[in-house]
Amino acid sequence: MSRPVLHLLCGKIASGKSTLARQLGEAEHTLLISEDAFMAALYPDEIHTLEDFRNRSARLEAALKPHVTAILHEGLSVVLDFHANTRARRDWARSIVDAADADAVLHWIDVPDDICKARLRARNAEGSHEYETSDAIFDQFTAHFLPPQPDENWVVDHVRAD
């Protein structure tokens, strides 16, 4: 069996991260872990601001890090449907990869803001997601988006919008 892989997703809100995560999670010996599912179950009606998200997300990261590390160490691959949109989040994931002696792929879904916002509005109208997100919140989160940088040394799967 080959080395386990930690799959990370980088992309703006409604860029298609969860869709790709579900596809990657269908691979044999691969476990999908969804941040939105955990956050909605653990913190219902508690996330209204970027600061709320950061605080709860930090708690979730701390709780899951040893478990994800152990899963990879046991030989299963993991798809983290967590945004890897900042250097800090990617550094957190790198610490898991290093501790588990696993491989990693950063899937960067590169979609323009106008397409993401159109998808976001459609998703909100469908009610198909754990969170309803406004254009203003999209803009607030996107202001902190940083695509992967060469000095981070990730294997990057750069997926561009059509």
Q: What is the pLDDT of residues 29-62, one digit of tens each?
A: 999 999 989 998 999 889 888 888 889 999 999 9
Computed over its alpha carbons, how large is the radius of gyration of the chain? Answer: 15
Report domain extents, the chain.
5-156
- Residue 30 burial (CB < 10 Å; 0-12/13-18/19+)? middle
Residues contacting residue 149 through CB under 8 Å, at least 6 positions apart: 87
**Does the pLDDT value for residue 150 go beyond 80?**
yes
At the second CATH level, the architecture of 5-156 is 3-Layer(aba) Sandwich (3.40)
Contact (Cβ atoms closer than 8 angstroms) between residue 53 and residue 133: no
For residue range 61-102, what is the model confidence (pLDDT) as tens digits? 999 999 999 999 999 999 999 989 999 999 999 999 999 999
Rounded to two decimals, the pTM is 0.89
What is the token pair recorded at 112?
A: 């323009």
